[in-house]
Structure 1
Amino acid sequence: MADISFIAASITIYTIPFAFFQLFSGALSDIYGRKQIIIFGLFTFSLASLCCAYSATIGLFLAARALQGLGNAFIAPTIMATIGDFFSYRERGRVMGGYGASTTAGIALGPLVGGFLAIIDWRLVFLLLSLFSGVLGFIYLFYFKSPKGEGELKNVLGKIKDVFTKKSFLMLCAIGFLVFFGNIAAMTFLADALKFSVTEDRIGILLSTFGFLGIVTAPVAGYLTDFIGRKKTLLIGLSITFCAFLIFLPVNSYASFFIPIAIMGIGSTTAFTSLNTMIVECTPKSRGAASSIYNSFRFLGYGLSPVATLPVYLVSGLNGIVLLLICIALMNILISTRVRRSSQNKSLSV
């Protein structure tokens, strides 16, 4: 099961249903309630993980991976919307910061823990995922209470359409898309540029700096979001990211790349903590739909970045990528200046 083509196929099979169903899962939570959608996602993910562990053939394993992607598509956007439901304006940023720290920790530590377990038996990874998601599913089933949703299944597309009419929401989605787009481009081509002079494990250590700084920064960014405001925190995060890309230009050694990568982690986490908070506030009656579409935009930036920026890298190398990212960072700052909040309890406006 270690063949690279098989690994690539398993990632693709997972991401397709994850990306597709994520577009609708949040809107469904607006209609049927957060609890039902989260429980469905957790139990689906738990069952799929168990099937992955005991799959007898590659075909069954890939089918189980697709089911995993479907399950997760119903979890992530709904959790964001739930934070918007349960916490007040004054504390929402700090809670979103904690949520950001936990997800970043999962991304940063997941490969490390998974790699260790795979040394013993690769099935252990999926068995633990099944156990944890199943336990969480029962906790949500018996102890979690959430308001009932409103509407019918036929209203799903209407809710999605309503969210798309909000100019401020589209601006925030554009920023989320571009920040992800820039980060993935920077790390993808930095890793490629260093591969001839630095071993893969050292490249991994360098890139992990981004995630570990994000874990530390997220709670601080959450506090700033509540204390000085959403827009100011967003501008601070985007400005820090812009500075990180500027620092990339004169850097030409492995050790010195740690500085801009670390600053990128700080800036991006600060920006995303504020962005996530603003997203669940911009359309209070359709928080789930807004969270779903926003996450889909970010995922689109992740997927398109390497392909869209490859021609720049082939022609101009890493410096060409950095110059492009500087322009993108400036664009993000300009877009963010157009977003303003009318009051604590009202939606965003432009």
Structure 2
Amino acid sequence: MEIYKTTTIKHPILIEIIIYLLFWLGPLTGNVILVLFGVLSTEFSVSPTEILIAIPSFMFPFAFVQLFSGAISDVKGRFSVILFGLVIFGCGTVIAIFSSSLTSYAIANILGGFGFGFVNPVLIALLTDITPEPNVSKKVGLLVAIANLGVGLGPIIAGQIVLINWRYLYILFIIITLMAFGLFYYLRQPTTDKSQSKTISLFFQQLSREMQRFVVILMILSAFLASQTYLAAIIWTSRTFTGVVPENLSGIIIGFAGIFGAISSVTIGFLIKKYGILIAIFIGIGSLFIALILLLSLSDITTMDVLIFDAIAYMLLGTSGGALISTVMYCSQIISKESRGTLAGLATFGQFIGNALIPITYDYIFHYGGIRAVYYVVIIVMFLLIGILGLLYNSSRQK
């Protein structure tokens, strides 16, 4: 089967830097909302809980597009797909800058998620294309680390810029987008010469073939459940802070999750190369469980005298996310070398569908049982994740 293959690439180091920058931008954009509940609810005259609609507005199209964008890049080429996605993402960012209501802000997030869905998995595949095989685990770990820095720096940056004007955040995003677009346009590579009908046929064949494999289904479920555990705890704990803990302070506390997620991802990349993915799974699950037990031991997580323990819990949750997501992304790149774009898209699809459903799946639980009930449900989901990861570990060894 003929698929797209990246040929000799000019300026690979510069391309790698742009890949890291864009992989940082995606989660940075999606996670600034964690400290904007208060200011946006005032700006748009709605409740803080209604602002949560921004998360699925971004995450659902972001996740859905990744179901096929990676596969398209396997056929049509990495650069053309990335450039197309950046144009749509940029349009959404401009709308966000001029948003005057929750509706227009939600539309901006829909466009932003749709556009970046064409970018995110293709960046993973492109990085793998230009990386020697023995270094793939380290580079994927570093890439996830960059994403976690976006998760961490998003709330920290937003918490400080919101003191001036939250719209400046999106002005920063559009500047980065335009710069990345210009550089990728200059460095782009030609795609293979195929007829359109053959391209469409190949795309559906490749996507269908991979989705029928048991190991791929396990990979998607692992990414989904990982998001429904560590990230659910982060988001709903952050929601609990709204109106009680100042945004600039909560932003710093939440930021610890991203910083430690970045440290974890880099470390996990090296550990996977030396010891395999089992150690990464152990670190991810262990730190998640300890964080949840710590949070459950606190009578009120919003009081000032326990914020240091909240910060420690966020560090552990970030460590868990870095380990678990790095493991899944690494698996997506070793299951099939011929379908790296497709598998990266399927893995990130599972991850971000999980992200998008967090406000929905836990809303009833939070409303009637409070944050402690959320933590107990996350523990239950964690045990399900352990079983799926165990099956993924065994299946990936037998691929």
TM-score (norm 1): 0.83
Cα deviations across residues 25-70 of structure 1 (Å, max 9, x unaligned)? 1111111011211122223333553465578999887665543333
**2:341: which partner in 1?**
288
* CA distance in 1: counterparts of 2:51 and 2:165, whole angstroms: 16
1:246 lines up with 2:293 in the alignment: yes
Aligned match of 2:270 in 213, 223, 227? 223
Residues 1:141 and 1:341: Cα distance change in structure 2 (over 3 Å): farther
Distance change >3 Å, CA 196–CA 116, structure 1 → 2: closer
Aligned to 2:234: 187
Comparing 155-164 with 137-146, greater Cα deviation is found at: 137-146
Alignment of 1:17-166 (within 5 A): 17-50=61-94, 53=97, 65-114=109-158, 116-117=160-161, 124-145=168-189, 148=192, 152-166=199-213
Superposed displacement of residue 17, structure 1: 3.5
Contact 1:239 1:333 in 2 (8 A): no
SS in 1 for 2:297: coil
| Post-superposition offset of 1:190 | 3.1
Does the CA-based 8 Å contact 2:142-2:265 persist in structure 1?
yes
The answer as to whether partners of 2:156 and 2:254 remain within 8 angstroms in 1 is no
Moved more, 287-296 or 171-180: 287-296
Q: Which amino acid aligns with 2:111?
A: L
Map 1:192-207; keep pairs closer than 5 Å: 198-199=245-246, 201-207=248-254
The correspondence for 2:279, drawn from 204, 229, 232, is: 232
- Distance change >3 Å, CA 187–CA 86, structure 1 → 2: same
Distance 2:393 2:273 in 1: 15
**How many matched pairs?**
346
Give RMSD over aligned pairs. 3.4
Query: SS of the residue aligned with 1:87?
Result: coil
Alpha-carbon deviation of 1:91?
1.0
Whichever residue aligns with residue 227 of structure 2, its letter is F
3-state SS of paired residue (1:185): helix
Residue type of the alignment partner of 1:177: F
Matching of residues 285-324 of structure 1 within 5 Å: 285-314=338-367, 316-324=369-377
Q: Alpha carbons of 1:133 and 1:311: their partners in 2 closer, same or farther (altered >3 Å)?
A: closer
Q: CA deviation at 1:247?
A: 3.4
8 Å Cα contact 1:34-1:149 kept in structure 2: no
1:279 and 2:332 are equivalent in the alignment: yes
Contact 1:96 1:277 in 2 (8 A): yes
Structure 2 CA distance for aligned equivalents of residues 143 and 83 of structure 1: 14
* Equivalent-residue separation in structure 1 for 2:353 and 2:292 (angstroms): 21
How many angstroms apart in 1 are the aligned matches of 2:102 and 2:295? 42
Residue-by-residue CA offset, 1:258-280 (whole Å, 9 max, x unaligned)? 33332121122112112111112
Q: Is the 8 A contact 1:160 1:289 kept in 2?
A: yes
| Kept after mapping to 2: 8 A contact 1:221/1:233 | yes
C-alpha distance in 1 between matches for 2:68 and 2:266: 29
Cα 1:268–1:47, aligned 2, differ >3 Å: closer, same or farther? closer
Contact 1:176–1:294 (CA under 8 A) maintained in structure 2: yes
CA gap of 1:286–1:64, structure 2 versus 1, over 3 A, is same
TM score, norm. by length of structure 2: 0.74
Q: Distance in 2 between matches of 1:313 and 1:125?
A: 29
CA contact (8 A) 1:21 1:70 kept: yes
Larger mean CA deviation between 271-280 and 55-64 belongs to 55-64
Give CA deviations for 1:266-321 in whole Å, capped at 9, x if unaligned.
12211211211111222322222222222222122122233323444455544433
After alignment, is 209-218 or 187-196 more displaced? Answer: 187-196
The 1:12/1:192 distance shift into structure 2, 3 A limit, reads closer
Question: 1:96-119 deviations in whole A, cap 9, x for unaligned?
Answer: 122112222222223443565566
In structure 1, C-alpha distance between the alignment counterparts of 2:159 and 2:295, rounded to whole Å = 31
Deviates more, 1:250-259 or 1:47-56: 47-56
